[in-house]
A and B are shown apart, each in its own frame.
Chain A
Amino acid sequence: MADGVAVPQVQPWQPALRFLRVIPGVLLLAAIGYAGKLLEQNLGAYAKAHHWVFPNIEYVLWAILLGLLISNTIGVPEIFRTGVATYEFWLKAGIVLLGSRFLLGDILKLGGVSLLLVAIEITGAMAFMTFLGRVFHLKPKLITLLAVGSAVCGVSAIIATKGAIDADDEDSSFSIAAILALGALALFTFPLIGHALHLGDRAYGIWAGLAVDNTAEATAAGALYSDAAGKLAVLVKSTRNAMIGFVVLAYAIYWASQGQAKAVGNKAAFLWQKFPKFVLGFLLISVLATYQFFSKDQVGTIANLSRWAFLLTFAGVGLRTNFRDMRKQGLRPFAVGAIGEVVIAVFTLGLVVAAEKLFGF
């Protein structure tokens, strides 16, 4: 092949423009998140002062509800969209900072148990979703995307797999819509089920981390239960995220062997490319906290920074959830996702209860 002429796109003003474009949306995330925090603080006190019976609704739920209200009524105006999309960035930065609240020993102990549970969950979920997709006569690559999305980590896994197996845009849209819709449902149902079953913070947090697919929703579902449950949900979900490269690689090799995807060249480079780097950041901060690189007050400050980052994330979860758009994606993939998610939720709940008895966490 003849050497091509490299034409670098040098537009020095572009980064500054990109930065300016995110500001309105980030301000909207901050305003909604902060409004949620104010509602939690003031509405409860107001209701108490006026002898009203009003449930204590946490800022997490307020932020999500306010976002949902805007997204599903007036919609998110174009000017805010780029900034609203940064909620994934705040989520990942928040998870890295949350590492300061974990000592390495806790991670090794809980990480070991959660790694075992995650391995069982991933295997079981992928096998069941594949079976279910075949029963419903879905397209093979759509089945792969739904299996990866529900077994590993939601939207990121679907996007990573789509590129690796050359799946259609339509199939990935179907899968993402199904995973997001079910994640939104999990936000409201998981805490209710957890309370109804009197699950402890640890058991609930591990369950949310294992069964809720998208990282933002898993973090929110955990935080809705309690602070401790939120921490555990993030740890277990991050363990699931760490598996993404291996699962995507396995599917890429499978579809390449069927002649329906490009062959994977350097497998180590592929794994590194797909590996979620925020998991490494989380571990690094945890190592630093374990070896007392930060004082106790500094750990408190870093943990508060993490909470602020999550606040923006929760507002973003509500703002990007549009039920009308989800309805357009069709019923069959959603039905497969819904049946699969219910079965996976029950299966993982059983796993957590059994592990709690066995390992006594």
Chain B
Amino acid sequence: MNTEESEVQVKKPWRLSLDSWAVVIALLAALLVRAGAFKHIPW
């Protein structure tokens, strides 16, 4: 590998972890319930 190649870094885009996504989506769902978007979800 030449020097020029080794100096090229691949910058990964910033991403939320699976954990954080789960928290975001769950909180969003809870807020939608609070806002009345889902009146009743049966089980």
Contacts and interface: CB of A to CB of B under 8 A. Distances in A.
A347 interface: no
Interface stretch (A2-10, A69-77, A105-113, A141-149): A2-10
Contact of B34 (A92, A93, A293): A293
A88 B18 contact: yes
Interface residues of B, number: 27
Of all A-B residue pairs in the complex, the 9 with the closest CB atoms, nearest first, are: A92-B22, A281-B23, A96-B26, A4-B9, A277-B19, A6-B11, A93-B26, A93-B22, A304-B43
Contacts of A4: 7-9
Interface in A7-28: 7-10
A293 B8 CA distance: 51
Nearest to A14: B13
B16 to A, nearest CB: 9
Contacts of B17: 277
A5 B8 contact: yes
Contacts of B7: 2-5
30 contacts: A4-B7, A5-B8, A9-B10, A9-B11, A10-B13, A88-B18, A92-B19, A92-B26, A93-B26, A96-B26, A96-B27, A97-B26, A97-B29, A276-B19, A277-B23, A278-B19, A278-B26, A280-B23, A285-B26, A285-B27, A293-B34, A294-B33, A298-B33, A301-B33, A301-B38, A301-B39, A301-B40, A302-B30, A304-B42, A305-B29
A153 B22 CA distance: 18
Given A96-B22, A281-B22, A8 B29 contact: no
Contacts of A301: 33, 38-41
Interface in A271-323: 276-278, 280-281, 284-285, 288, 293-294, 297-298, 300-302, 304-305, 307-309
Given A8-B11, A302-B29, 15 more contacts: A5-B8, A89-B22, A92-B18, A92-B26, A94-B26, A100-B30, A277-B22, A281-B23, A285-B26, A298-B33, A301-B40, A305-B30, A305-B33, A305-B41, A307-B43
Given A89-B18, A92-B18, A9 B33 contact: no
Contacts of A300: 40
Contacts of A307: 43
B41 A308 contact: yes
A273 B10 CA distance: 21
Nearest to A294: B34
B2 interface: no
B42 to A, nearest CB: 7
Contacts of B41: 301, 304-305, 308
A307 B29 CA distance: 13
Contacts of B23: 92-93, 96, 277-278, 280-281
Contacts of B12: 9
A7 B8 contact: yes
A68 to B, nearest CB: 24
B10 to A, nearest CB: 6
Contact of B30 (A5, A7, A278, A294): A294
A332 B33 CA distance: 50
